[in-house]
Amino acid sequence: MINLEIPKKLQDITTMAHQFANDGLRPISRKYDLLEQEEMPEELYPLSELLLAGGVARSDKPSISDPDSNRNGRSMMAALVTEQMCWGDTGLFLAMPGLGLGNAAVQAVASAEQKQEWGELFASMAITEPGCGSDSAAIKTTAVLDGDEWVINGSKIFVTDGYRSKQVVVWASLDTSLGKAAIKSFLVPKGTPGMEVTRLEHKLGIRSSDTAQIVFDNCRVPKANLLGNPEIAKTDAERKKAFGGVMQTFDNTRPIVAAQALGVARAALDLTTELLQEKGLALDYNKSYHQLSAIENDLYDMEADYEAARLLVLKASWMADNKQPNSKNASMSKAKAGRMGNQVALKCVELCGQLGYSKAQLLEKFARDSKIIDIYEGTQQIQQLIVARQVLGKSSSELK
- CA dist., res. 325 & res. 317, Å (int): 11
Q: How is residue 141 annotated by DSSP? A: -
Can you give the pLDDT at residue 68?
57
- pTM score, whole prediction: 0.90
Residues 6+ away with beta carbon under 8 Å from 380: 335, 338, 339, 374
Write down the pLDDT at residue 148.
Answer: 96
All domains of the chain in start order, with CATH:
8-107 (1.10.540.10), 121-234 (2.40.110.10), 237-392 (1.20.140.10)
How far is 148 from 118, CA to CA, in rounded Å? 18
Do residues 333 and 253 touch, judged by C-beta distance below 8 A? no
Q: What is the dihedral of CA 80, 82, 83, 87, to 10 degrees?
A: 140
- In the chain, alpha helices (H): 8-20, 29-35, 44-53, 74-88, 90-94, 101-109, 112-118, 236-278, 294-321, 327-351, 353-357, 363-373, 380-392
Residue 264, burial from CB neighbour count under 10 angstroms (0-12, 13-18, 19+):
buried
pLDDT in the model for residue 54:
62
Q: 3-class SS at 293?
A: coil
- How many whole angstroms separate alpha carbon 247 and alpha carbon 55? 28
Give me the residues of the chain with pLDDT under 50, please.
1, 59-65
Report the C-alpha gap between 108 and 387 in whole angstroms: 21
Cβ burial of 150 (10 Å; 0-12, 13-18, 19+) is buried
Q: How far apart are CA 95 and CA 29, in angstroms?
A: 12
Tell me if 156 sits within 8 A of 234, measured CB to CB: no
Active site residues: 377
Residue 193 · residue 216 · CB < 8 Å: no
